[in-house]
Structure 1
Amino acid sequence: MTDSRGDWIQTALGRQFWPIDPRADEVFIDDIAHALSMLCRFGGHCLRFYSVAEHSVLLSRAAAPEHKLWALLHDASEAYLVDVPRPLKPFLAGYKEAEDKIMRAVCERFGLDADMPTAVKEFDGRILFDERTQNMATAPVRWSTDAAPIGVTLQYWTPLVARANFLSDFRYLTEDRAA
């Protein structure tokens, strides 16, 4: 008999997660931090290992105070779906729907508005220039996403350091929100 929720993945911390039928009470920040710290940006096509967790922390630290938590969690769905390079995403049937479902569960779990703030989307596009110029070979042509950089400096954290920074910033931001 098939489970009506579809198949599930096991997180690194031993939990079950249904990526096609996510529930807010099954989203855990330690699972997100761990997975994002182990995922390399740009499908691994960069000069040095640079995790999605570090990307998220740098974006959050550069964001306006009211957007810091959203910026930190903006790629949380990738903890369950992996980091797919932007040019490929539109061609993967069902990916956008799965990503949206997971982000709705993340937003519900952590008390975020369902829609990503425009400022976070803009910063996420602009950080690409910082990342590309610091961690990629010279581009053969201009990227279609080129925009003014936000001015971050990549640190190339190990997964352990990236996870620790991600969790520390999350705790700081959520304690601050509760107060």
Structure 2
Amino acid sequence: MVPEFAMEALFHDAAEAFLGDITRPLKQLLPEYKVIERDVGAAIFHRLGIDETSVSAIKGADLQVLAAEQEQIMPPGTNSWAAAAGVVPAPIQVRFLPPPIAKRDFLKRYYELTEKR
């Protein structure tokens, strides 16, 4: 979705490895959590030497992917927020991967990107 920020996109949710994942509606009610999540994400980006200025581009792509996921795998109407917000679903096909396959694919992409650096 954002080839110019491929490594940053790959790690855009890395803070969740340390903090857990919280649904977007709940996260909106927890401003302190959002600050902590941002700080942990920034520390991870810094440690990996990747660009933090990409966050807004990645957030837009992430919303498009979320809209595509909801459109493809959730009950009808759960993605109505996307149309109201002007978010166009990403042109992707959602795949259901077992954790070992997802891990393999993640690491493969990571190694591809680190070889290019």
TM tier, smaller: 0.7 to 0.9
Q: 1:145 to 1:74 in 2, by over 3 A?
A: farther
- State the partner residue of 2:87: 147
Mapped contact 1:129–1:146 kept (Cα < 8 A):
no
Closer, same or farther in 2 for the Cα pair 1:140/1:93, shift >3 Å?
A: closer
Instruction: Give the structure-1-normalised TM-score.
Output: 0.59
Q: Deviations over 1:80-124 (max 9, x none)?
A: 111111111121252112112211211111111233343212111
Q: 2 CA distance for matches of 1:116 and 1:87? A: 23
Distance 1:140 1:121 in 2: 19
Alpha-carbon distance in 2 for matches of 1:125, 1:156: 19
Structure 2: any 5+ residue segments left out of the alignment? none
Tell me the SS of whatever aligns to 1:152: coil
Q: Partners of 2:91 and 2:76 in 1: how far apart? A: 18
Choose which of 45, 49, 54 in structure 2 pairs with 1:111. 49
Contact 1:67–1:117 (8 Å) recurs in 2: no
Please say which structure displays the higher CA radius of gyration.
Answer: 1
- Residue 101 (structure 1) aligned with residue 43 (structure 2): no
Q: Give, as a single letter, the amino acid of the residue that structure 2 aligns with 1:150.
A: A
Runs of 4+, deviation exceeding 3 Å: none
Query: Contact between 1:74 and 1:116, CA under 8 Å: does it hold in 2?
Result: no
Q: 1:87 to 1:171 in 2, by over 3 A?
A: same
User: How far apart, in 2, do the equivalents of 1:131 and 1:83 lie?
Assistant: 16
Unpaired stretches in structure 1, ≥5 consecutive residues: 1-61
2:14–2:41 contact (8 Å) kept in structure 1: yes
Q: For this pair of structures, how many residues does the alignment match?
A: 115
* CA gap 1:146/1:157 in 2 versus in 1, 3 angstroms: farther
Equivalents in 2 of 1:117, 1:105: separation in Å?
13
Letter in 2 for 1:71: A
Counterpart of 2:112 in structure 1 is: 172
Q: 1:167 Cα deviation (Å)?
A: 1.0
Letter in 2 for 1:158: P
Percent identity over the alignment? 34
Partners of 1:141 and 1:98 lie apart in 2 by 27
Task: Establish whether residue 63 from structure 1 lines up as the match of residue 2 from structure 2.
Answer: yes
Shift of 1:175: 1.4
Alpha-carbon shift at residue 135 of structure 1 (Å): 1.0
Change in Cα spacing, 1:140 to 1:81, as seen in structure 2 (3 Å) is closer
Higher helix share: 2
